[in-house]
Amino acid sequence: MRSRRDVDVPTLVESARSGAPRAVARLISLVENADPALRDVMAALAPHTGRAWIIGLTGSPGVGKSTTTTMLVRAFRERGLRVGVLAVDPTSPFSGGALLGDRIRMGDHVLDPEVYIRSMATRGHLGGLAWATPQALRVLDGAGCDVIVVETVGVGQSEIEIAALADTTVVLLAPGMGDGVQAAKAGILEVGDVFVVNKADRDGADATVRELRHMISLGDRTEPGLWRPPVVKTMADRGEGADEALEGLDKHWARLQETGELRERRARRAAREVEAIVLARLRSRMGDLSRGSSLPEVADQVVEGTLDPYTAADRVLTELT
């Protein structure tokens, strides 16, 4: 086994760019492990990035994210595109294996050399989802993927974070999985560019579609010139509704390019990515501080009530900056 220092970055990046799945997997592992070699990896990849269309796919547990992803992958493969799938699990501290079930369900594509499927656990990682995901997407992008589907379960803030990373965000729902009020609460109405109501053969599918359309019509997205998110019905396990879903996605992609919004979204995304690296580095400096500095001392004074947390923060900031 090679030590971390021995990562041969130029060779690894070259292999990944030529499409070697093992090299791609290795690079994503470096991201997962926050390996120091990442700096060189990202420098080598930079000129080759920016081509991929990044599609975020989010929804509650049980709505059919894996089958929908499989359906989309199949459709993009029919167009001859190279496809990446990144399944991000923000609730698990364990890597890849935790999502093995999903990967098995995507069995159709496991052996297709033009499809990269990768699960990534981000919980407990330095900076979490916001730090690791854009870098993993950068790897898949640099490896020549035309489309990348980044799939995550919508819990906590994850769907907002995924939307911030994607060019196009698909929000997946299923009938009876929660009413419109809950949808609004979760903030999905604001983040969805395309809404897919999966399991459309279930009772209440049409009501869910109607309710979603109604709620979208109440928002500020109905102003002239603004993108109005389509709501499509699918039965992803049978591939039904794939054409309608793709049509919605394609229209959004065309719109992003026409309006210049693609560039704006990507600039915001890059700013966030840089910010996440900056924050992780500051946080790691703070970790150093907790060993050789005033942090333990001021924390003790806060416990004793002789110092308030804001004044304590002032002291730490002085040392940090």
Given the rule CB under 8 A, which residues bind a copy of itself? 38-39, 42-43, 45-50, 90-94, 98, 123-124, 128, 134-135, 138, 155-158, 160, 185-187, 263, 266-268, 270-271, 273-275, 277-279, 281-283, 286, 290, 295-296, 298-300, 302-313, 316-317, 320-321
Whose CA is closest to 156, among 178, 177, 132, 128? 128
- CB of residue 61 to a copy of itself, shortest distance in Å: 10
**Identity of the residue, 29 or 49, whose beta carbon is nearer to a copy of itself in the bound complex:** 49
Beta strands 231-233; 115-121: pairing state: unpaired
Residues 6+ apart with CB under 8 A from 86: 28, 118, 119, 120, 133, 136, 137, 140, 148, 149, 150, 151
- CB of residue 300 to a copy of itself, shortest distance in Å: 6
**Identity of the residue, 217 or 284, whose beta carbon is nearer to a copy of itself in the bound complex:** 284
Whose CA is closest to 177, among 193, 149, 150, 154? 154
CB 103 within 8 A of CB 119: yes
- CB of residue 296 to a copy of itself, shortest distance in Å: 7
- CB of residue 148 to a copy of itself, shortest distance in Å: 16
- CB of residue 66 to a copy of itself, shortest distance in Å: 17
**Identity of the residue, 94 or 217, whose beta carbon is nearer to a copy of itself in the bound complex:** 94
**Identity of the residue, 185 or 228, whose beta carbon is nearer to a copy of itself in the bound complex:** 185
CB 121 within 8 A of CB 89: yes
